[in-house]
Every structure is written in structure tokens, then in C-alpha cells.
Amino acid sequence: MNTAYLLIGGNLGNRPAYLQKARELIGQFCGNIVLSSAIYETAAWGITDQPAFYNQALAVETDLSPEKLMQELLRIEESMGRKRTVKMGPRVIDLDILLIDGFVLSTPLLTLPHPALPLRKFALLPLAEIAPALLHPLSGRSVQQLLEECTDILDVQKKSIGAN
């Protein structure tokens, strides 16, 4: 059994409802969600002329291999209507694996840990809420340390909507 740390998010439609549906499908097809952060709102990163994103970090206990988990997440995205037309463009749902225990992996499908994690406050802030002491397997730094060192200036705000 592994613990996978995911970031789920989206910026189209009813964002809270899409996150809720994603949590339900992850619980059904990927494993038991043992921790979930609050929902955070962040201005779009990359292509900035689009609606703000809602993001949430999850810790999922799973028996799936890292690549099988990624395949399931991609299938869930597709089932929820995700269309991959523009890289970093608007989307109803985005499901990313940030870390899985101490796995270091690089395949055509998946790179672990997520290579951009140390650079993205919108991922580090919710992850630090649920796993501040979790160590990044390449840098040896905790998620909290990575957050404190992160130079990303995007505004990330915790939302007061029901998240769990």
C-alpha cells in the first residue's frame, strides 16, 4: 500500500462540484482518501487570461502502481469531460500526482516527484496543509520547507466553501 499525494483542480463550470465528483471517483477507482486540504483559489498559472483555479490536495492510500494510478486519473479526467486542447489552458478538471511515498520515477507517462512541485505555491500550500513534514525524495526538504523557499508570487487564497 502506497500513499499518493494528489493535486486536483479546475477552472471551468461549477468548480466545487467538479472537485467533489473527482474526489468521489478517486475514492471509487484509485484508493481511500485519508486526508484532504481545504480548497484554494489561485489565478491561472502559465496562460493567465482564463478563470481562476480551485485546487485541493489529497492523500490517497492505494494499491495501484504509480503508472496505473496515473492511467486511472487520466481516465477519470476524460470521463468528467476534460479536453486536452491547449497546454495549460482552461479545464473542468486536472488530476496530478505530486508525490508517492519516496518514489523517484521518469517514464513517458509519469515523472515522480512532480518536477514543478517546488516552483508552484498553488500546489505546495494545500499539500503543506495535509503533509507539512513529508520529504521531497530528491531535495530532502520537507513540503513546509519547499513552501517557505518557493518564489512563486501568485496569490493563493483558502476558500470558505465546504471542502471535505
Per-residue pLDDT tens digits of the chain, which is 164 residues long: 999 999 999 999 999 999 999 999 999 999 999 999 999 999 887 777 889 999 999 999 999 999 999 999 999 999 998 776 666 667 889 999 999 999 999 999 999 999 999 999 999 999 999 999 999 999 999 999 999 999 999 889 999 765 44
What is the rounded CA–CA span in Å between residue 83 and residue 74? 11
Q: What is the pLDDT of residue 139?
A: 95
Give residue 57's region: left, alpha or beta (phi > 0; psi -120 to 50). beta
The full set of domain ranges for the chain reads 2-158
Cβ neighbours for 87, distance < 8 A, ≥ 6 positions apart: 46
How many CA atoms does the CB half-sphere of 121 hold within 13 Å? 17
Domain 2-158 has CATH 3.30.70.560: yes
Question: What pLDDT does 83 receive?
Answer: 73
Nearest to 2 by CA among 37, 36, 27, 31: 31
Q: Is 62 helix (H, G, I), strand (E, B) or coil?
A: strand
pLDDT of residue 50: 86
Amino acid 35: pLDDT: 98
pLDDT of residue 36: 97
Confidence (pTM): 0.93
